[in-house]
Amino acid sequence: MIDKSGWMVSMQFGRQTKLVLMLAALGLLVSCGDKKPAEEKAGQSIVRVNGDEITIHQLNAELQRANVQPAQQELAGKQITKSLVDRQILVQQAITDKLDRNPNVMQAIESAKAQILAQAYIEGKIASIANPTDTEISDYRTKHPEIFANRKVYIMEELSFIVSPENSKDLKSLSDSAKTLEDVTAWLDAQQVKYGRNKSAHAAETVPGELLNKFSKMVVGDLIFINANGRTVVGRLVEVKDVPISEKDSKPLIQRIILSQKRKDVAEAELSRLRTAAKIEYLNKQFDPTTEVAKTAEQPADAAQSAPTKPVDAVQPVPSNEASDSKDKSLEKGLKGL
């Protein structure tokens, strides 16, 4: 069978808009409307740049944002202060060049301001959510043995290629008849299709649920055809490794997962409440999400739909039972797909 799914997101900006967004990412967009009395600023300022003052509050905010530990704050403070000075110089020059009056820049600033306000509102709503209890953590682990107690890593030899639309039907027939990767490579060579060959390790928590269910039913030597973001991946199962995660190691990870889900639920509920109460009028029905969008292409009726997996270039190291931050982050990222 062939599982097909994929997506693409693209964004385009003008050169000046890209500049202002880059500055915003570096924290270079600052408010020009600071009207605090001079005497109030006197004890707060740490450096003056062409008459504009940088305060200790700005420095502390940057230190907090960078999550700098107390023992490193003195050294980090000097480095961040230098960055704040550089930022102020750039902002001053941008204003001198009247970039703050450029329509694209003004729109980008308003967009950033709106995003910050929206984020601040949501963060205020989720700030008081309590940490999950030991019972909730234990229940979550029990309900997900496939990614904790019975966690498996699937080692696969894979072919990756792109076929033209006219070859899609032949590819479907190949997926039904092929028994080995050599059968697939012979077909690809006959069709003059270029392909890559590698070995990959897919941990259970990184595989979408529907695909994980298919993996669990495979035996060594079985083939699976998957569409991965526009590319076809044919995998042959080489080995299945049992790599469980201990209860001790999984606890902090599960705690973060549950807390993250709670925050998401609260945020979605609040947004739903506000959306229901709001008066929303789509002046152009083309942009109304309830308006049916014309289909641009029909997918084959017999093509099984599944979320894609992303092949990697080599077998990835499988984490041991020893706790580590990198393992937690990898698992947490993979679990978002589940």
Contact 198, 311 (CB under 8 A): yes
Torsion of CA 56, 60, 62, 68, to 10 degrees: 140
Q: What is the pLDDT of residue 209?
A: 84
Q: What is d(CA 201, CA 157) in angstroms, rounded to the nearest whole number?
A: 9
Q: What is d(CA 161, CA 168) in angstroms, rounded to the nearest whole number?
A: 12
For residue 130, give both structure tokens. 């309590």
Q: What is the pLDDT of residue 21?
A: 47
CA 286 to chain centre: 29
Q: What is d(CA 2, CA 162) in angstroms, rounded to the nearest whole number?
A: 13
Vertex 138 angle, CA 306 and 337, to 5°: 20
294 band by pLDDT with thresholds 50, 70 and 90? low
Half-sphere exposure of 58 (CA within 13 A, CB side): 25
CA 232 to chain centre: 22
Residue 295 DSSP code = P
Q: What is d(CA 251, CA 331) in angstroms, rounded to the nearest whole number?
A: 12
Residue listed under structure tokens 């550089």:
86
- What are the residues whose beta carbons fall under 8 Å from the beta carbon of 261, sequence distance 6 or more? none
Please give the residue that has the higher pLDDT: either 180 or 333.
Answer: 180
Please give the residue that has the higher pLDDT: either 10 or 230.
Answer: 230
Q: What is the pLDDT of residue 53?
A: 94
For residue 29, give both structure tokens. 């967009």
CA 153 to chain centre: 22
Q: What is the pLDDT of residue 293?
A: 65
For residue 122, give both structure tokens. 């949501």
Tell me what the mean pLDDT of segment 287-306 comes to: 57
Q: What is the pLDDT of residue 167?
A: 80
The residues facing 224 across adjacent strands are 235
Q: What is d(CA 240, CA 275) in angstroms, rounded to the nearest whole number?
A: 47
In the predicted model, is pLDDT for residue 3 greater than 50?
no
Q: Per 3-state DSSP, what percentage of the chain is helix, strand, and coil (rounded to 5)?
A: 50, 15, 35
Q: Note the pLDDT tens digit of each residue in 78-126.
A: 999 999 999 999 999 999 999 999 999 999 999 999 999 999 999 999 9
In the predicted model, is pLDDT for residue 259 greater than 60?
yes
* Amino acid at position 137, single letter: I
262: exposed, middle or buried (C-beta count within 10 Å: 0-12, 13-18, 19+)?
middle
Please give the residue that has the higher pLDDT: either 167 or 123.
Answer: 123
Tell me what the mean pLDDT of segment 296-304 comes to: 41
Please give the residue that has the higher pLDDT: either 9 or 30.
Answer: 30
- pTM of the shown model: 0.59
In the predicted model, is pLDDT for residue 5 greater than 80?
no
- What are the residues whose beta carbons fall under 8 Å from the beta carbon of 71, sequence distance 6 or more? none
Q: At what angle do helices 103-126 and 15-25 cross, to 10 degrees?
A: 30
Q: What is the pLDDT of residue 10?
A: 35
Q: Note the pLDDT tens digit of each residue in 114-163.
A: 999 999 999 999 999 999 999 999 999 999 998 899 999 999 999 999 98
Q: What is the pLDDT of residue 37?
A: 53
Tell me what the mean pLDDT of segment 219-228 comes to: 92
Please give the residue that has the higher pLDDT: either 292 or 318.
Answer: 292
Tell me what the mean pLDDT of segment 165-180 comes to: 88
In the predicted model, is pLDDT for residue 276 greater than 60?
yes
Other beta carbons within 10 Å of 308 = 19
Residue listed under structure tokens 């600023």:
41
Other beta carbons within 10 Å of 47 = 15
Residue 304 DSSP code = B
The domain segmentation of the chain, as residue ranges, is 15-29+41-126, 132-279+302-338
Average pLDDT across the chain, whole number: 80
Contact 244, 150 (CB under 8 A): yes
The residues facing 237 across adjacent strands are 156
